[in-house]
Chain A
């Protein structure tokens, strides 16, 4: 498989690009933010994604989806990133679907996801930094489980219909074994979600599980063997977040390069200054490196090869490149880059949130080092 998009993938990208730019551009985000919208995204838009068939992009055709892969999901996510579109696509259509894939829970949740009626949130993180540790307890109770503990940084957690919850059924927080993944309906008793607006105007909840009762059939996969579906979720989520970051970084870069051609000082376009040209060219190069890393991870996931290393490289590299892109973006815009009225600052904020999600640059670099034995 050559490492570039094939014709069908390019067509999908063009379709997604037009659709997202038309219906969910940065002005859409700005309007939601200015209205202090309590949902944080547009349910209508989520429905429109469904009408385009996009929500089922990773769901097998036999289950009503498009049966496509992570390359295709990434193509959509990149456009979401480029337009800073608030959307449950990453959590729901990518990460949650990957977790549910092949499990008994799939039949229950896929139809709603495909129809744009169901939004999923991921209750994975427990500290302010993403880690592998899972401490939230799930104890046997009757023929089901009782969940007790806290989760944080749960994007869309306050409005999600489905929560994918990583819990501990045995052992202690830092152990690999003894983790179980649950599909918890939002209306389960004992569950509270406190939404917090983040720097990028998105909403993420702090969640408390106060003896939340779930049936045994809420288990995704096997009890104590949750690292499997959680691994699928994280690989998909990390690769997806990397693709979205690529869009954010690319969008910021395009704005910046456009500005360099347009803004005049000293009687010439500022883009004629070599100091700025070199920084723009460096930024472009870094984004291209990140782009290749993301596609490599997506292709490996789609062929079923071991993608762990490539996924961490993609997430860390897009973290670095996009951080550079938004920082250079604001700087090269000068004073106007600091104004709320101008969009470049929105890119900086979204980049910061996505860079933190599913593990930051340091987390993934550390994973690579450990895997390489140092």
Chain B
């Protein structure tokens, strides 16, 4: 047996012993997802808490981060094995976190030792919930056009301005935020700062979405005092950090194209609604064809995700590759939910009934429409592919 085989069997045994059965069921709604943070109620869902503690205890919420920062210190190959073994028992993600998927990688690359030791272990344990303050009313796709200002006040900045679309700003403890520290240059006048959402002068206002939920906010900053020690990387060099982080955000969002592990809700849903004919085929042949062709693409995309992760870990990925992953993954996820709605028929239209999980299907369907907008729209990803990968002129 190789070391990796041993690692696999040990991991399998450990997961078997430590992953509660409730955490092997598919996530049904946002409420099932563990986000951690100061507002996390440990009594609300004991199996969820046990699962988070067990995984965080081994550093396995962030298996490939160094142990000093709360990670598991695993190699790329070991991390892959862990993910495979988790998928095999359909284990839920123990912790969902913008800290893990976005800020963490940026801190690892650009943070000082003090900043890493201060923030990374808390992210790994789910103690602090983060939100992302990038977009502004007049800076969406043209993100570098942002105006929120940070004025130099000696050892700190005074931040003023407004952010928009800040996901979960009302539930987050801290924000990573892009601010303008110079007007001399568009990209070259941006700094990347972190601050506590409880700081005086910070307020949020939820925005109601077409799904009926309001996970986003407008975030207002009114003379907010932000210590300079909370700036990541040099002053006016925040765009580098922002772009690096966006690469990771795109990578995370592209994972949506994979759908869940285990039972296939699309196929099961279609069988439940339209039934099988005497040959054992879906009784709606057009729907069957659409699903089968979709499955070809979805499974091919799963292979591309695997390749992308392997290339990333080996340092061989093209820097614009996350754009391609994000583009394909999000368009695919929208297609999946469009088909799930078609497969569900009138059942999938119910918005409030208990049977429908308070409209879980239509709300999820509507939510996916944002996948190709958040983290940079599909059009922006295509621009990046055209320019950086295909090297088309003037792109």
A residues neighboring B (CB under 8 Å): 2-4, 257, 260-261, 268-269, 271-272, 274, 277-278, 280-282, 284-286, 288-293, 295-296, 309-310, 312-314, 316-317, 320, 361-362, 364-366, 368-370, 372-374
Contact B300 A289 (CB under 8 A): yes
Q: Does A374 contact B271, Cβ atoms closer than 8 Å?
A: yes
* Complex-state Cα separation, A280 to B327, whole angstroms: 13
A373 contacts B324, CB within 8 Å? no
Asked if B385 is at the interface (CB within 8 A of a chain A CB), the reply is: yes
From residue A294, how far is it (CB to closest CB) to chain B in Å? 9
Residue in A281, A316, A365 whose CB lies within 8 Å of B390: A281
Contact mask B356-395 → A, CB, 8 Å, 1/0? 0000000000000000000000010111011101111111
A324, B307: Cα distance in complex, Å: 22
A373 touches B280 (CB 8 A): yes
- Which of the segments B134-142, B182-190, B290-298 contacts the partner chain? B290-298
Could you give, for residues 172-199 of chain B, a 1 whenever the CB lies within 8 Å of some chain A CB and a 0 otherwise? 0000000000000000000000000000
Other-chain residue from B295, B300, B390 in contact with A280 (beta carbon distance below 8 A): B390
| A362 proximity list for chain B (CB < 8 A) | 289
Judging by beta carbons under 8 Å apart, are A296 and B306 in contact? yes
Q: Which residue of B lies closest to A293 (CB)?
A: B300
| B386 and A313 form a contact (CB under 8 A) | no
List chain A residues, Cβ under 8 A from B300: 289-290, 292-293, 313-314, 317
Smallest CB-CB A-B distances: 9 pairs: A293-B300, A272-B394, A281-B385, A277-B386, A292-B304, A365-B292, A3-B307, A2-B310, A296-B303
- B267 → chain A closest CB, angstroms: 5
Q: Is B353 an interface residue (CB 8 A)?
A: no
Residues from chain A with Cβ under 8 Å of B291 in the complex: 369, 374
B13 at the binding interface (Cβ < 8 Å)? no
Which chain A residues lie closer than 8 Å to B289 at the CB level? 362, 365
| Residue count of chain B within 8 Å CB distance of chain A | 45
Are B296 and A374 touching (Cβ within 8 A)?
no
Name the B residues within 8 Å of A372 (CB-CB): 264, 267, 295
Contact assessment for B392 and A295 in the assembled complex, using a CB-CB cutoff below 8 Å: no
Contact yes or no, A4 B297, CB < 8 A = no
Residue pair B303, A278 in contact (C-beta under 8 Å): no
Q: B328 — which chain A residues lie within 8 A by C-beta? A: 285-286, 288-289
- Interface positions of B from 274 to 290, Cβ below 8 Å from A: 276, 280-282, 288-289
Q: In the bound complex, do residue B385 and residue A285 qualify as a contact, i.e. CB atoms below 8 Å apart?
A: yes
* B295-A295 in contact (CB<8A): no
Q: Which residues of B contact A285 (CB under 8 A)?
A: 324, 327-328, 385
**Contact A289:B288 (CB < 8 A) given known A365-B296, A369-B295:** no
Q: Are B389 and A284 in contact (CB under 8 A)?
A: yes
Minimum C-beta distance from A270 to chain B (A) = 9
Contacts known (A368-B295, A369-B295); A293 close to B386, Cβ less than 8 A: no
Flag if A369 contacts B382 (CB, 8 Å): no
Q: Judge if B38 is at the interface, Cβ distance under 8 Å.
A: no
A320 touching B296 in the complex, CB below 8 Å, given contacts A269-B393, A296-B303 = yes
Q: Does A369 lie within 8 Å of B394, measured CB to CB?
A: no
- Contact in complex: B393, A3 (CB < 8 Å): no
Q: How far is the CB of A150 from chain B (nearest CB, A)?
A: 27
Complex alpha-carbon distance, A271 and B393, angstroms:
6
Query: Contact partner of A271 among B295, B310, B392, CB < 8 A?
Result: B392
Q: How far is the CA of A286 from the CA of B306 in the complex (A)?
A: 16
Given contact pairs A289-B301, A289-B304, A272 touches B281 in the complex (Cβ within 8 A) = no
Beta-carbon contact of B386 and A278 below 8 Å: yes
- Residues of chain A lying within 8 A (CB to CB) of residue B282: 369, 374
Given A4-B310, A257-B390, A281-B386, A374–B270 Cβ distance below 8 Å? yes
Q: Are A369 and B281 in contact (CB-based, < 8 A)?
A: yes
Q: Which of B280, B296, B381 contacts A316 (CB 8 A)?
A: B296
> Within the assembled complex, what's the spacing in Å between the Cα atoms of A3 and B303?
8
B392 to chain A, nearest CB (A): 4
How far apart are B27's CB and chain A's nearest CB, in angstroms? Answer: 22
